[in-house]
Amino acid sequence: MATAIICVLGPAPVADAESLADWLRGEPALTGRVRLSGAAPAEGHLGAPLDTVSVLLGAGGPLTVLASCLRAWITQPRRSDVKLTVRHEHGPAVEIDARRVGREDVAEILRQALEERPERDG
């Protein structure tokens, strides 16, 4: 099963990642598919901030639901200073800036970033 990895950038990345994870967990189609994670702890630290949301994707439905949920979350007025980097676990990242992207554009950007692409032989 593929994974969508969403990094939250902004003034309060941990709080915003928690908010996003809670928002996504409220969607029945994503139940049990959402978790918070973070980078490895720096030397001398006991843990790392949880500023990344991972969502397990299955066939069809969850991708569409995730795109719709992210569009709704990021376009809220209080999210105007947030940026998200979204990528498929084995793909390139795309950045979504809440200040510069329209509601309709978010879903299309997410679909392009998260679509599974056949791996090329190289």
- Would you say residue 119 lies in a domain? no
pLDDT tens for the 122 residues of the chain, in order: 688 889 888 888 888 899 999 999 999 989 899 999 876 666 766 656 678 899 988 766 677 788 888 888 887 777 667 888 888 877 788 888 777 766 567 777 777 777 655 444 34
Domain extent, residue 87, equals 2-37+49-114
- Would you say residue 104 lies in a domain? yes
* Integer Cα distance of 8 and 113 in angstroms: 16
- Would you say residue 92 lies in a domain? yes
* Integer Cα distance of 30 and 34 in angstroms: 7
Q: Which pTM value belongs to this model?
A: 0.79
Look at the chain and report how many structural domains it folds into.
1
The torsion angles phi and psi of 12, rounded to 5 degrees, stand at: -135, 70
DSSP output for 34-94:
EEEE-PPPPTT-S-----EEEEEE-SSHHHHHHHHHHHHHHTSGGGTT-EEEEEETTS--E
- Would you say residue 122 lies in a domain? no
- Would you say residue 100 lies in a domain? yes
